[in-house]
Amino acid sequence: MRDIRVSDITMREAIASKALPLSFKEKLEIVKILDRIGVGSIEVEGIESSKVDSLRIKSIASLVKNSTLAVPVKMDDDSIQVVWNAAKGAKHVRLQVEAAVSPSCMEYIQRKKADTLIADAAEAVAKCAQLTGDVEFVAIDATRTDVAYLAKVINAVVAAGAKTVTVCDAAGSMLPEEFAQFIADLYQATPQLKDIDLGISCCNNLNMADACAVAGVMAGASIVKATSYPMGVVALDNVARILAAKADALGAQSKVRVTELKRAMNQISRLCCDDRSKASLFTGAVSEAVEGVVLTAGDDQATVMQYVERLGYSLSDEDAEAVFEAFKKIAASKERVSATELDAIVASAALQVPPTYTLDGYVINSGLSFKATSHISLRKNGELIEAVSLGDGPIDSSFKSIESVVGKHYELDDFSIQAVTEGREAMGESVVKLIADGKVYSGRGISTDIVESSIRAYINALNKIAYEEQN
């Protein structure tokens, strides 16, 4: 019985459609769910902005334990190397070379002639094959090109080292019988396909993507690309259930754990749900990479800095020294220092800068039957700037007001509140971590009012970003 692998393309489709903005934390949560239920591979978007996207891929790579992490590359040496450097931390890595092979797309998307495209695709595959034995070639819009030409492309990339070839029905205009015949014709025209994995990707324009995928499997395909949230392509839960229910009839089976599917799909649906506030700033807690880690007074600076880096920070030598000195003072008075406490140490000791923004005042209105409203007044170089925003709670609305004042959105990587003193008038400490240009900046705020401490922590992190941008 053949093993059919389901490759999840949710994150890639979300970016391509621009209809589903996923935060950094949401992507990490989706990856953990997919890796747990046994999908063959998890496909992520490639690298456009090297710093930001490299951090994203490195973080995802550290989480993927069972599935293959598949990342697309551009057809140039720099892109291939940058992507590989970011993804190589995963247990299994697949580099993907993509090319539009239909005449119209080749001319207007690839801007290449037919023979040039074949040569460039083969060259890119060969360079990827020097880094990893798992290279995939993706033929975009394959069903609208001549089978004889497609066979030439496949022959060239297989000879260059591709172990997987995926053909895409981007138009979504085929009936299941037509798609099955297309796959059969391709096998006949390209005998080399029998020695590698053939993947299929079907669009759902006729609401037949799932049926076409099953027809493609029956015709010989061994990889099906699908999404775990509805996006107009093959549905992961549908195709997994069909493969499980009709394994004997198809002579094929999938390793996706169908008993866990319903719960997993519900979790992913909540992360992707359109009717929730996509701008909500609350997306998670301390980085998975260091959750549960404890340090002691016996740990040296190199060890402490290792975990600081895994929290996402990139510190100068001066800041590293300051953080380690602060760590030693804390560690000397207690048995253990947790990851959360290390976060607070970095926030208070690293990158202390002259303030660009200062808090002038705020008014918060919140209640049971209406959304929270925040009126924030900040001073920038003496100039008073104000903004009013609605949000899902007083802190969310306050952060949105600050964003309105600044005129920029920074992704919130982490947010935490803890008491630092006891009693009715206890001091609350807030730590905010913002991502800007691929780097993490943390801010710390203390007040008897947790909303004020949160606002001050956000402004503290914001000032660090502004300082670096100005210098």
Residues 344 and 418 in one domain: no
The DSSP string of 206-229 is TS-HHHHHHHHHHHT--EEEEBSS
Q: Which of 333, 349, 365 is the last residue of a domain?
A: 349
Is 36 within a domain? yes
Asked if 18 and 126 sit in the same domain, the reply is: yes
Same domain, 406 and 300: no
Gyration radius from the chain CA atoms: 26
Domain range for 311? 294-349
Whether residues 258 and 331 share a domain: the answer is no
Name the domain boundary from 325, 349, 373. Answer: 349
The H or E element spanning position 97 is: strand 93-100
Model confidence at 112: pLDDT above 60? yes
> 250 and 339 share a domain?
no
> Strand pairing of 294-295 and 41-43?
unpaired
CA distance 24 to 39: 21
The band of 348, judged by pLDDT with boundaries at 50, 70 and 90, is low
pLDDT confidence of residue 77: 87
CATH number at residue 37: 3.20.20.70
Residue type, position 168, single letter = C
Q: Is the pLDDT of residue 425 over 50?
A: no
- Check which CATH number belongs to the domain holding 410 and give it: 3.30.160.270
Name the domain count of the chain. 3
- Pair of tokens at residue 149: 């030409």
Amino acid 257 reads: R
Tokens at 361, concatenated: 């005042």
Residue 97 has pLDDT above 60, yes or no: yes
Other residues' Cβ atoms within 10 Å of the Cβ of residue 1: 9
- Within a domain: 443: yes
Residues 107 and 248 in one domain: yes
202 in any annotated domain: yes
User: Residue for token digits 């008038």?
Assistant: 425
- For the cut 50, the answer to whether the pLDDT of residue 288 exceeds it is no
pLDDT at 271: 85
Higher per-residue pLDDT: 219 or 450: 219
Judge if 26 and 156 occupy the same domain: yes
- Per-residue pLDDT, 224: 98
pLDDT of residue 313: 66
Q: What is residue 278's predicted lDDT score, i.e. its pLDDT? A: 44
Domain boundary among 238, 272, 306: 272
User: Are 363 and 344 in a shared domain?
Assistant: no
Q: Is residue 242 part of a domain?
A: yes
- Backbone φ/ψ region at 199: left (φ over 0), alpha (ψ -120 to 50), beta: beta
Residue 294 has pLDDT above 80, yes or no: no
Q: How confident is the model at residue 291 (pLDDT cuts 50, 70, 90)?
A: low
Q: Decide if 287 is inside a domain.
A: no
pLDDT of 163-209, one tens digit each?
999 999 988 989 999 999 999 999 999 998 999 999 999 999 999 99
Task: Indicate whether 134 and 154 sit together in one domain.
Answer: yes
Tell me, yes or no, whether 320 and 247 share the same domain: no
Q: What is the mean pLDDT of residues 308-337?
A: 77
Residues 302 and 179 in one domain: no
Distance CA 471, CA 468 (A): 5
Q: For residue 216, tell me if it sits in a domain.
A: yes
> What is the per-residue pLDDT for 50?
61
279 within some domain: no
Whether residues 304 and 411 share a domain: the answer is no
**Predicted local distance difference test score (pLDDT) of residue 286:** 44
- Percent of the chain's residues with pLDDT above 70: 89
Residue 237 included in any domain? yes
Q: What torsion, rounded to 10 degrees, do the Cα atoms 444, 449, 455, 459 define?
A: -40
